Structure 1
Amino acid sequence: MTALDLPYTLDILLRLLDTPSPTGFTGAAVVLIESELSALGVPSVRTRKGALTWEVAGTGPGHTTFSGHVDTLGAMVRGVKGSGRLLLSALGGYDWATVEGEDVRVHTQSGRVVTGTVVNIRQSVHVHGAALRELRREQSVMEVRLDEAVFSAADTFDLGIGVGDFVSFDARPRLTPAGYVKARHLDNKAAVAIFLGVTRKLLKAPPARTVAFHVTTYEEVGHGAATGIPAHTDELIAVDMAAIGDGQTSSEHHVTLCVADSGGPYDHDLGNRIRAAAAQAGVALRVDIYPYYSSDGTAAWRAGADYPVALIGPGVDASHAYERTHTDALTATGALMLEYVREGV
């Protein structure tokens, strides 16, 4: 197995996780990636849509593109209540119960950041009793309690907060002594960190084919890779989280090949080439199907892309909630990518 520089990859991952980037508000995260690429001496191109692409030239013919996304779940302010608390509109697909109690940052038009917490309208069990437990967590009953002395809508407006401001959920990243990484937004900052780790390795040992990395900024709302994939791409491998749960084979300690999701099956031949690369690298590859999932690969195909698409990724527990993976899965994903492009499978 070709070793990924794990300390480097983890450093990038933790910094990315600490950089808010809800869908539509990804500029700071993209700048972080650009800065790291500049330090590596790798030029990059930002598309008009805000995605980022870079390449490492290969020693032979062929062009493989890996796509991942840096945008995350989040929210926007959709209204200010008379109490001064905020109503939210969701960005991406998540259950409101998974963000209850989460700290947030409200990003105002002036650049000011105001912190707060997502709560429901019956938060105190001492006041509401059983009515709290019976409350269905949905958008209409959730609000942001700001960490400012606000007692009216006017007080909140005076802070510079208004409808349309972006709201990011705190990632709370942690690296445990046992090698687990837990945080919000491992989907899909784990893949982006792996991209940089793989890039660093390929600069020292060029791949057998030219490799592009494409980081999208609208995947969580379904159209991230609908445009922007390099025109000379021969094949696209989307790299995203592998979802873990009952009835699934994916694991926090492994890389997974997803052969089908809600958009249907991925390319069989490309999937088989990835299986062959895993065998060559000594990577224990899991294979899975996700019924409530789609990827940048799906978006590219739906937009008319004429090349094979596959999907791989590290196993992530509690997807779209407070997530967790293991360094084993990060390492295995990087090793699989390196083997695939170095050996020209």
Structure 2
Amino acid sequence: MLSYQALQELVAIDSPTGYTQKAAQYIHHLLGTYGWKPQYTNKQAVTCALGSKPRLAIAAHTDTLGAIVSRINADGTLGISLLGGPLLNSFEGEYCRIYTLADKVYTGTLLLNNPSTHVNAEAAATKRDIGSMHIRIDEPVQKKADTEQLGIQVGDIICFDTRYQELPSGYIKSRFMDNKAGCFVLFEIARRMAARKQHAPVELFFSNYEEVGHGGSGGYAATIEELLVIDMGVVGTGCEGNEQHCSICAKDSSGPYDYQFRKKLVQLAETHQIPCKIDIYPYYGSDGSAALRAGNDFRVALIGPGVAASHGMERTHKKGIEATIDLCMAYINQL
């Protein structure tokens, strides 16, 4: 039975966009324990060659959603700016950690302004946005100066609890399955190939700015010809994907993915009886989108396990993750 310990450990490491160094260090160390020699790019993404002169890059992003302190309010609470696009209705009431530049960590909660229904008759009807919400710090602060004395300032990073649970039914529910489940797929590729003493012209690429659009823009080996992006499959009304399948994206908001690349993936899924769904994502972009916008001459495909309730309280299934791993291995084996 496949162990998901590495996924749980990665999820436990806070890594919102712009604050991914600890997750990158974990990934670098883990790949090293398998016998590979990972490297950092200048932007601190992690790359790892699984053979000489790699032609195929397999990418997943380590960065997640989060927030950043935008102001200290008069009552000592914190105003926020978002990192990526968290669904605030889902994140309301979530516990969080505030990381200061002095490496102090404080805890808090994301709340509606004036959140008590006993004094605010409009609490239920108020639109949730960054102007109507704040972080309540778990410290005795009553004014701006109190918070400043803690060393909290504008630009400090806010990371939300994940509530990771791995269930007997095979479901894994947690924030940030987008895209730490995708990172786990790359971990398993590296682990399996190391165990088999297998080498292939493949580079693993763990990007760190996908949620803000430029994670996959550069940093690849000069020999790369194809980019296989592993990112969450969309689950929802009008989409074919589900949590127990690997989704193969034909088109997202940035346009269609490479037709021949996609066709080969579909054929491999059919040949090896890997549960997959071909899908269109109406509101979506990926590291592949960023790579193409940056002018990279790659053939790009996008696959990944179905993830329900994206950018909220997400859930996926081991069957979808393992189908994605199997499809990646099938593609690697035919190179």
Instruction: Verify the 8 A CA contact 1:76 1:90 in the aligned structure 2.
Output: yes
In structure 1, give the amino acid aligned to 2:317.
Answer: H
- Whole-Å Cα distance in 2 between the matches of residues 277 and 233 of structure 1? 21
Matched, 1:96 2:92: no
Q: Is the 8 Å Cα contact of residues 54 and 203 (structure 2) preserved in structure 1? A: no
Task: Tell me if structure 1 keeps the 8 A contact 2:54–2:221.
Answer: no
User: 1:107-151: CA deviations, max 9, x gaps?
Assistant: 00110100000001131112112x112201011011000111111
- Which residue pairs with 1:161 in the alignment? 152
For 1:68-93, what per-residue CA distance to the aligned partner results, in whole angstroms no more than 9, with x for missing partners? 10000001000000110000000102
Task: Point out where structure 1 has 5 or more consecutive residues left out of the alignment.
Answer: none
- 1:87 partner SS: strand
Number of the residue aligned with 2:161:
170
Q: Corresponding residue for 1:149?
A: 140
Letter of the 1:16 counterpart: L
Aligned to 2:65: 73
Q: d(CA) in 2 for partners of 1:49 and 1:337?
A: 26
CA contact (8 A) 1:208 1:342 kept: no
Shift of the 70–62 alpha-carbon distance from structure 1 to 2, 3 Å rule, reads closer
In structure 2, which of residues 192, 203, 207 is the aligned counterpart of residue 216 of structure 1? 207
TM-score normalised by structure 1 residue count: 0.95
Q: How many residues align?
A: 335
Residues 284-303 of structure 1 correspond to what in structure 2 (within 5 A)?
A: 284-303=275-294
The aligned residue for residue 304 of structure 2 is 313
Match of residue 18, structure 1, among 12, 26, 29? 12
The question of 1:35 aligning with 2:26 is answered no
The code of the aligned residue for 1:193 comes to: F
Q: Distance in 1 between matches of 2:298 and 2:120?
A: 56
* Partners of 1:315 and 1:106 in 2: CA distance: 31
Match of 2:119, SS?
helix
The one-character-per-residue Cα deviations of 1:192-234 (angstroms, maximum 9, x if unpaired) are 1110111111123366841111000000000001111221111
The structure in which a higher percent of residues are helix is: 1
Identity fraction in percent: 39
Q: Which amino acid in structure 2 is aligned with residue 117 of structure 1?
A: T
The answer to whether the 8 Å contact 2:66/2:86 transfers is no
- Show structure 2 runs of 5+ residues with no match: none
Q: Distance in 2 between matches of 1:246 and 1:320?
A: 16
Matches within 5 A, 1:58-207: 63-129=55-121, 131-205=122-196
For residues 62 and 196 of structure 1, the distance between their equivalents in structure 2, rounded to whole angstroms, comes to 17
- Aligned residue for 2:178, secondary structure, equals helix
CA distance in 1, matches of 2:199, 2:62: 27
For 2:37 and 2:86, the matched residues in 1 are separated by 35
- Tell me how far 1:260 sits from its aligned partner: 0.3
**SS, match of residue 115 in structure 1:** strand
Name the CA distance, whole Å, in 1 between partners of 2:334 and 2:32: 27
Distance 2:147 2:104 in 1: 13
Query: 2:100 and 2:192 mapped to 1: Cα distance?
Result: 39
Q: Secondary structure at the match of 1:287?
A: strand
Report deviation, 1:40. Answer: 1.0
Query: Offset of 1:343 from its aligned partner?
Result: 2.4
Shift of residue 276 of structure 1?
1.5
How far is 1:94 from its partner? 2.7
In the other structure, the counterpart of 1:275 is: 266
Q: Distance in 1 between matches of 2:270 and 2:55?
A: 22
